[in-house]
A and B are shown apart, each in its own frame.
Chain A
Amino acid sequence: MTIPFSLYAGRESGLHPVHPLTRLTIAGFVLIAALLIPWTLGTYALFAGLLLPLAAWRRVAGLLLRAVFRFVFPFALSLFLIQGLFWTGGTPVVSLGPLSLKAEGLAFAAAMSGRILLIVSSFLLLAMTTRPDALMLALVQKGLPDQIAYIVLTTMQIVPRFQAKANTILDAQRSRGLETEGSLLRRIRGLLPLAIPLVLGSIVDIEERAIALEARAFSRQGEKTSLVDLPDSTFQRAFRWMLLGLTVALTVARLVSVLR
């Protein structure tokens, strides 16, 4: 099974089921920490000491590192170069002709990179290890309206279908002699025959899909069940509260230090 727009790696071991809310809390905690921790080293330590071991445990460490390398590394590199070279009035560390890397610039880049690393990898880790539907189910069980969960899940699947539909329409219009390649004018003229059936069709689709939802008792009041069991434990619940507490404490501490 592949889920469009999802990074889910499907490597659930099932041995130690971690409730999606626990994962979400970890990701949330790391995100806040990334923004608030004042020490540069702290962000890297959190990555190496928390996120990487967690990723290794869920068998996505390699995947995570590769993704981090692809998304964060180019960004960090440019940060280091730009901030290092163009920091005004800093202490040069290395000089090459008129160019020199300044210590303050490098320190700033390191701090920024650390935060970005944490933000990106906490999101990646969550996405790689958690099925979006499981996360939505967990949130619905905590009171998120069904409809919102449905919209999120269905959008992920309908967008590729939308692309397929656009291709079919394009095929039909080309078969009616519509030239879609060539001059800009030609392409613009080709837009309406493509866009109108796509929009009108989507309105019909939405109406029919609403009927399908009703036919599956989506709007039924009363207790619903779920095919998927999301095991939770007192330990996990306590852990989530602890992380939440920690997040709040971190925020307060940071606020206090800023206000002083």
Chain B
Amino acid sequence: MIDGLSIAVEDIRFTYPGGVEAIQGVTLSVSPGEAVAIVGENGAGKTTLVRQFNGLLKPTSGRVLVGEWDTREHSVATLARRVGYAFQNPDEQLFERTVRAEVAFGPKNLGFSSEDILASVHEALERVGLADAADQHPYDLPLSQRRLLALAATLAMQTPIVILDEPTTGQDAPSVARIGGIVDSLRQEGRTVITITHDLDFCAEHFPRVMVMASGRVLVDGPAREVLAQSDTLAEAEVDPPQLVRLARSLKLTNMPLTPEEFVTAWQRSRGE
């Protein structure tokens, strides 16, 4: 059991060395154990924002607190005890000779005992479904499985906060379902989960809180059901609502369903009246 941690972002701005201001005043807080999805079109500032959470980028002004740690006062490697960040492109990190060693790299860096390393590697590989591939070379796996391996490498670090950068990109339906299941189990354990995604259907089913970004600002932030129903705001951020929300709207249902079950129930109810 790992308790989640909070993140507090206090009026941050961020300007890249080239002069582009990618974050133009963002304030938000994430409570321990929350699951938040950040959506918005390419270039809205989503990645720039979440890279502040583990100190890869430090705010130009304002501050970011992870638990009580100010990110400006800690190295990325130190913040890695609290924030696990699963990158999009696995090939920009995989380097060990076996899948097992690859997953053990993070826990080793964090100074886990050898029993803890063994246990967390095993658990992480089970979670992503790669336990049978533990002795293979990472590059013998196809890209979609290398993505899952990189995710396992992050999960094994047992961090209170987990960041998933576009976890469903290029994944087929069974893998998307598996990743959704991992998000759900992390939430059940009470860990804080933050994702960036273009997959609004995935977002609706697994993230109770949704934040919409556009041009370096947060347009709206709240419960998924409310945010995903705001078609004007979503349109402004160039985001398509989830399929079931669009369907519910076209059938003039008043309840905003997030899962097929919710949709059928809402539809049944609307017919009953």
Contacts and interface: CB of A to CB of B under 8 A. Distances in A.
Interface of A: 165, 168-169, 171-181, 192-193, 196-197, 200-201, 204
Contacts of B56: 171, 174-175
B157 interface: yes
Given A179-B109, A193-B105, A172 B77 contact: no
B80 A192 contact: no
Nearest to B94: A197
Given A172-B87, A175-B54, A175-B56, A196 B77 contact: no
Tell me which of B83, B89, B110, B153 has the highest count of chain A C-beta atoms within 10 A of its own C-beta: B89
B268 interface: no
15 contacts: A171-B76, A174-B56, A174-B77, A175-B84, A176-B105, A176-B153, A177-B80, A177-B81, A177-B106, A177-B109, A197-B91, A200-B95, A200-B139, A201-B92, A204-B91
B92 A168 contact: yes
A197 B75 contact: no
A4 B248 CA distance: 52
A176 B92 contact: no
A33 to B, nearest CB: 42
Contacts of B94: 197
Contacts of A200: 91, 95, 139
Tell me which of A176, A193, A197, A200 has the highest count of chain B C-beta atoms within 10 A of its own C-beta: A176
A141 to B, nearest CB: 37
B71 interface: no
Given A175-B56, A176-B109, A179-B75, A201 B91 contact: yes
Contact of A193 (B75, B80, B95, B157): B95
B207 interface: no
A174 B109 CA distance: 10
B80 A174 contact: yes
A200 B85 CA distance: 22
Contacts of A179: 75, 77, 109
B54 A197 contact: no
Contacts of A172: 85, 87, 92-93
A179 B83 CA distance: 15
B154 interface: yes
Contacts of B92: 165, 168-169, 172, 197, 201
A192 B94 CA distance: 11
Given A168-B89, A174-B76, A200-B139, 14 more contacts: A165-B92, A168-B92, A171-B76, A173-B93, A174-B80, A175-B54, A176-B93, A176-B154, A176-B157, A177-B109, A177-B110, A178-B77, A181-B75, A204-B91
B165 to A, nearest CB: 10
Contacts of A177: 77, 80-81, 106, 109-110, 157
A235 to B, nearest CB: 44
A181 B77 CA distance: 10
Contacts of B87: 168, 171-172, 175
Contacts of B54: 175
A171 B56 CA distance: 7
A3 B54 CA distance: 34
A176 B95 contact: no
Tell me which of B85, B92, B94, B139 has the highest count of chain A C-beta atoms within 10 A of its own C-beta: B92
Nearest to A176: B106
Contacts of B75: 174, 179, 181
A180 B89 CA distance: 21
Interface in B57-100: 75-77, 80-81, 83-85, 87, 89, 91-95
Nearest to A201: B91
A200 to B, nearest CB: 6
Contacts of B95: 192-193, 196-197, 200
A251 B142 CA distance: 61
Interface in B14-61: 51, 54, 56
A189 B81 CA distance: 19
Contacts of A176: 80, 93, 105-106, 109, 153-154, 157
Contacts of A175: 54, 56, 76, 80, 83-85, 87, 154
A243 to B, nearest CB: 43
A175 B93 CA distance: 10
Q: Which 10 A-B pairs have the closest CB atoms?
A: A177-B109, A196-B95, A172-B93, A177-B80, A174-B76, A176-B106, A175-B85, A179-B77, A177-B110, A172-B87
A1 to B, nearest CB: 15
Interface string B151-195: 001100100000000000000000000000000000000000000
Nearest to B150: A172
Contacts of B157: 176-177
Nearest to A199: B95
